[in-house]
Structure 1
Amino acid sequence: MICFRTPVEGDYRKIAELHANSWQENYRGTFSDDFLDNKVHRERLAVWKERFLHPSEHQYIVLAEEEGTLLGFCCAYIDQSTYYGTYLDNLHVSTKAKRRGLGTVLIQKLIQEIRQRNATDKLYLWVLDTNEEAINFYDTLKGRREEPIKDDDIGDAEFWKIRYVWDSLRILEECILTKLERYERRRI
């Protein structure tokens, strides 16, 4: 049974490992093999340790676990932007847990948190233009794509990234409910 929970102090290591593994699977060809094979685990561990040692007051993290194994996580910053609203910085699901609706439920949990905090009714995120799986996922959630921009704020190379925007969480919630109903029908 999958459970969702807020992280505790020692969880940053598990999060960093899943995050690094996800980059290795999805960003091959975007970042150098040397970075992905030899440096990404150390780099993500440093990032997550810092996030746990000095969390932003707007930071929200939720984990999805099954029998103590981390299957996915979501990290967002509530009302990060006055224009775009909440920033979904990370959404990662382990390969073995994909196609089970986990990413969809993690976003649903984020929306619940946004509503609970009475935050702006908007959400945005960035996705690398080479991450076709993520692009397809966000397209099914009816995110509005903005023009790609070139950046180098992560990894070890320049890349193109696309901002996805939801001007209303209501649209996103409707898509989430539809996706979850489909997952449920497949299980029956």
Structure 2
Amino acid sequence: MIDALFLAGSESASDRRSDVLRSAGWAGTHQSVTERSGFFLSNVVAGIDAVAAHVLGLKSLFSPGYRHCMTIGLVAVRDAIVGDAKGIARVHVDSWRETYAGVLNERFFSEDVFDRRAAFWSSYLDLSPRPGSLAVAEIDGTIVGFANSGKSIGVDAEHGFPAARPLTLFSIYLLAQSQGTGAGQALHDAVVGDRPVQLWVLQGNGRATAFYERNGFAFDGSQYVDPGDSHLIELRMVR
């Protein structure tokens, strides 16, 4: 699982790429929903107000060192760079804590987890080429959210079903304090745009479902029950 990912300095770039892909679930064996990186559990915090993007308006700009940067009100969304690894890891852990405190064991939110996630995202960002798209949302220079997409290959994309679309939206994470700013919509647009795409969302997560439906997604009838916890049921949505 990703939390167990440690990369030796002597490994080749090819070996690192294989390890990161395997840990992310794009290659390798099954990981339980609560154990893996959260590429799908993050949908719990993805239900932000899409209308805000239209109210605040969109303005695109290009900044040195970034392939693309977009501002929405006070929020800036751009491609992630290697130096963002710790900021992404902080959102990764804190959003889990905000969402799952009292539900999951505290070990999922510990500072040890933060260190491991920072190492994972640093390794992911160092891959060339990267196996997918990773964008961050910033407010006043602080990362408050991120989103990740990639090819629909591997257990986390397929869950035992043939891929319905070639692209998967693996995650949208956003800190609670930044929901309703339009950041979630901008992150979605940055990593998948209006392309055909699939995703998995937790059953009963009405806010995330409404967000995805506003973006043209619909359930296709595929259902995955996590073998590690029968209460965690993911439903596939496609566009």
TM-score, normalisation: structure 1: 0.67
Structure 2 portions without partners, runs of 5+:
1-73, 158-162
Question: Take 1:139 and 1:84, find their aligned partners in 2: how far apart are those partners?
Answer: 16
Going by fraction, where is helix more abundant, 1 or 2? 1
Structure 1 portions without partners, runs of 5+:
115-120, 167-188
TM superposition shift of 1:18: 0.2
Aligned residues: 155
Distance 1:29 1:68, change over 3 A: same
State the one-letter code of the partner of 1:49: S
**Other-structure match for 2:94:** 21
Identity rate, percent: 24
The counterpart of 2:140, out of the listed 56, 60, 67, is 67
**Other-structure match for 2:46:** none
- Conserved in 1, the CA contact under 8 Å of 2:75 and 2:181? no
- Conserved in 2, the CA contact under 8 Å of 1:26 and 1:131? no
Question: Take 2:113 and 2:218, find their aligned partners in 1: how far apart are those partners?
Answer: 30
Question: Take 2:81 and 2:223, find their aligned partners in 1: how far apart are those partners?
Answer: 36
TM-score, normalisation: structure 2: 0.55
- Conserved in 1, the CA contact under 8 Å of 2:201 and 2:235? yes
Distance 1:75 1:141, change over 3 A: same
State the one-letter code of the partner of 1:137: F
- Conserved in 1, the CA contact under 8 Å of 2:167 and 2:198? yes
TM superposition shift of 1:26: 2.0
**Other-structure match for 2:174:** 93
TM superposition shift of 1:51: 1.5
- Aligned-residue CA RMSD (Å): 2.8
Question: Take 1:73 and 1:130, find their aligned partners in 2: how far apart are those partners?
Answer: 23
How is 1:29-40 mapped onto 2 (pairs within 5 angstroms)? 31-37=104-110, 40=113
Going by fraction, where is strand more abundant, 1 or 2? 1
TM superposition shift of 1:79: 6.0
Question: Take 2:77 and 2:125, find their aligned partners in 1: how far apart are those partners?
Answer: 18
- Conserved in 2, the CA contact under 8 Å of 1:60 and 1:75? yes
Higher relative contact order (CA 8 A, sep 6+): 2
TM superposition shift of 1:91: 0.7
